[in-house]
């Protein structure tokens, strides 16, 4: 391992650029190191941009937004038509939260499985929290369980962020 002359981070001996700051490890013969640094940073920005706006990710978003609209329309129809005693206007929002949470959960799993993207736990936890709040609203045995679930979900998100930070920092 070699130390970066710019930021002091450890750099593999065969690397041309510092993985932390992007500085070249040694001036390349016949080239300006500042230009190579700009090229490297531009590459990193374009790589992040392409991951975020890839055709696959656009397809995943379109499918799940379409499913959300279909689900919302379906439960609105069931609530207004009175075809089911299970879904009424008084508990419509609870069913909407359950469906939104379920789709959010599935979208984040698809994001992880198809795209191999990291940092997927936030949407999964958020989807689970929405489903729990909706289910708690449907359960008549307690009024304040959803408050406890929201606080517990916040604590879980903070702990997951700390664990992620510690794993990345290694």
Domain boundaries, the chain: 2-51, 54-169
pLDDT (average), residues 63-81 = 92
Check if the beta carbon of residue 131 is closer than 8 Å to that of residue 102. Answer: yes
Whole-number pLDDT of residue 161: 76
C-alpha distance from residue 39 to each of 11, 36, 168 (Å): 19, 5, 25
| 3-state SS, residue 11 | strand
Burial profile 121-147: b = 16 or more Cβ within 10 angstroms, e = fewer: bebbbbbbbbbbbbbbbeeeeeeeebe
Cα-only R_g, the chain: 24
Whole-number pLDDT of residue 30: 54
pLDDT higher than 80, residue 67 = yes
What confidence tens digit (pLDDT) does each residue in 90-117 have?
A: 888 899 999 999 998 888 877 777 766 5
CA distance 103 to 113: 15
Whole-number pLDDT of residue 70: 95
| 3-state SS, residue 122 | helix
CA distance 24 to 74: 57
pLDDT (average), residues 16-31 = 70
């Amino acid at each position: 391992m070699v130390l970066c002359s710019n930021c002091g981070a450890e750099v593999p001996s065969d690397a041309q650029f510092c993985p932390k700051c992007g500085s070249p490890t040694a001036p390349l013969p016949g080239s300006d190191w500042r230009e190579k640094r700009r090229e490297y940073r531009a590459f990193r920005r374009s790589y992040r941009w392409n991951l975020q706006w890839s055709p696959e990710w656009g397809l995943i978003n379109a499918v799940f937004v379409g499913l959300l609209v279909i689900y919302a329309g379906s439960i609105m129809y069931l609530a207004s038509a009175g075809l089911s005693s299970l879904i009424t206007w008084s508990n419509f929002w609870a069913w909407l939260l359950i469906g939104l949470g379920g789709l959010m959960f599935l979208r984040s799993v698809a994001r992880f499985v198809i795209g191999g993207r990291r940092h997927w736990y936030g949407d999964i936890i958020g989807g689970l929290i929405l489903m729990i709040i909706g289910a708690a609203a449907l359960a008549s045995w307690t009024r304040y369980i959803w408050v406890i679930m929201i606080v517990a979900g916040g604590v879980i998100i903070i702990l997951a962020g700390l664990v992620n930070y510690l794993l990345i920092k290694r």
